[in-house]
Amino acid sequence: MGDKGGCGGCWCRLWRVSRKQHDADKGDGNRDAMRALFDRGHVPGLIAWDGDTPFGWISVDRRSAFPRLAGSRILKAVDDRPVWSVSCFLVKPAYRRRGLSADLLRHACGFAKARGADILEGYPVDPGKKYPAVYGWTGFMGAYRAAGFTEVARRSETRPIMRKVLD
């Protein structure tokens, strides 16, 4: 996730903790908290490698691991089905625009399925025009479509909820 942990010291904890906690932990605190998940044996996502070089990350976990989603007017639960969620992506700039986000999503599907998930859900942006990649940390709708996801809800013009049933 680089020296700063993705988007401004988030370390993919935005949806995992309260806004107050996230902001208080920004930077090193969020990094240490995410590392603690790994240290406890919990795997909160996947890292993509090119040989010895990490180039991508996708955060995938049970939706219940992301309590802030429930409080979101736009991303609240669609129904009461148990789903897993993709909360964020990170692909290094030199590796972008190669379809690697869709590849990460496909691997996330296998990862979630192996852990008992039947449905994987994501919250991409659908900007309708050129959009800075740095703000696309939840992924882009095209990558989700390419990985076989379908839109199941849209409470915002630019933020669909997409799902894939894991066979």
Distance of alpha carbon 2 from alpha carbon 76, whole angstroms? 30
Q: What is the pLDDT of residue 92?
A: 86
Q: What is the mean pLDDT of residues 32-49?
A: 90
Q: Residue 60 — pLDDT band, cuts 50, 70, 90?
A: very high
**Percent of the chain residues topping a pLDDT of 90:** 57
Average pLDDT, the chain: 88
Do residues 62 and 84 touch, judged by C-beta distance below 8 A?
yes
Residue 167 CA to residue 162 CA, distance in Å, equals: 16
For the domain bounded by 43-165, which CATH number is listed? Answer: 3.40.630.30
**Domain definitions of the chain by residue range:** 43-165
Among 124, 130, 116, 118, smallest CA distance to 153 is for: 124
Q: What is the pLDDT of residues 83-110, one digit of tens each?
A: 999 999 888 888 888 889 999 999 999 9
